Amino acid sequence: MTAQVLAWALKQLDERHKVVLATVLTTSGSVPGKTGARLAMSGEGLQWRGTVGGAGLEHRVLQRCKDLLESAEKPEAELLTYGLNKGAKGYEVTPLDSLCGGRVTIALEVMIPVPHVLIMGGGHCGEAIAGLLDRMAWPYSVHDTREHFSSIELYPRAAECITSSVSELMASENENTLNRFSDILLLGHDWSEDQERLLSLLGIFNDAGHQLDGSEAPRVGVIGSRSKWQSFEQQALGEGIPQNLLDQVICPIGINIGAESPEEIAVAVVAQILSAHKGVLPDQPTWRQRS
């Protein structure tokens, strides 16, 4: 049972769903669940697998798992100790209306999926970013219209290496498939390719009504100057993309550290993704927010 629960939890994480894992750590007296019993709940529809013993104890644990999954606060581990008798007393013991009479301590661990980055443009910056993602042990995929810049030889650790035109790639994707990514970075060598990528992505997410927050839909970032973004924005507005959706796009990408080289840009970009992943957003507005 434990192996099945852990395998299911890992599958949920691979599909980018937050998971709470409940584990029975210690028991004394008569209790319904033995040490090592596990239960996991996913943020996807609040599905769950496994058991920590059933009855009122399990009901309490499931409710706490649900609360943790729905909380906007930074996830933390918890220890809960229950006395399985409504008259149970003791330090930090929660009494339950039960006749078992025992005592059980359960650990709750909130697990969030690691970022999965789609690098759209496998040139110098894409290669530098991939190198840092390798060190972080984060999955990433690479797309380029040029075979040499999206090859398995150049990106041996990539989860996916995709060589196709932008239109062919976007025709094969939708809001559900794109949600396998936490972040989509537009790093193309040709501004027209990045513009096509951006318009296609925003069209998909606009139809779905999703927020580009890394949860409902991937965060979308564009490398480039003010003039490049203004041109993209004008084209997008002309094609019916709403301003509020454009305002969610990150441009320029990366924390402002004065980065110039591909390696420095990679540090700035990965740091920005890490801060969003950890929920610790730096107070550094982009030039679009400053103006």
The whole-number average pLDDT for the span 176-190 is 94
The whole-number average pLDDT for the span 28-36 is 75
Which band of pLDDT confidence, cut at 50, 70 and 90, is reported for residue 189?
Answer: very high
Helix 262-278 × helix 124-136 angle, to 10°: 40
Would the pLDDT of 52 be above 60? yes
Q: In terms of C-beta density within 10 A (0-12 exposed, 13-18 middle, 19 or more buried), how is residue 149 classed?
A: buried
Residues 216-245: b if buried by 16+ CB within 10 A, e if exposed: ebbbbbbbbeeebbeebbeebeeeebeeeb
User: Looking at the domain 117-286, which fold is it?
Assistant: Rossmann fold (3.40.50)
Is the sign of the CA dihedral 240, 199, 117, 127 positive or negative? negative
For the stretch 206-224, pLDDT in tens is 998 889 988 889 999 999 8
**pLDDT recorded at residue 32:** 67
**pLDDT recorded at residue 60:** 86
Would the pLDDT of 96 be above 80? no
**pLDDT recorded at residue 27:** 82
Would the pLDDT of 88 be above 50? no
pTM reported for the whole predicted model = 0.82
The whole-number average pLDDT for the span 236-264 is 94
Yes or no: say if 178 and 219 are a contact pair by the CB < 8 Å rule.
no
* Residue 86 DSSP class: T
Domain boundaries, the chain: 2-111, 117-286
**pLDDT recorded at residue 84:** 66
The lowest-confidence range among 54-68, 93-107, 119-133 is 93-107
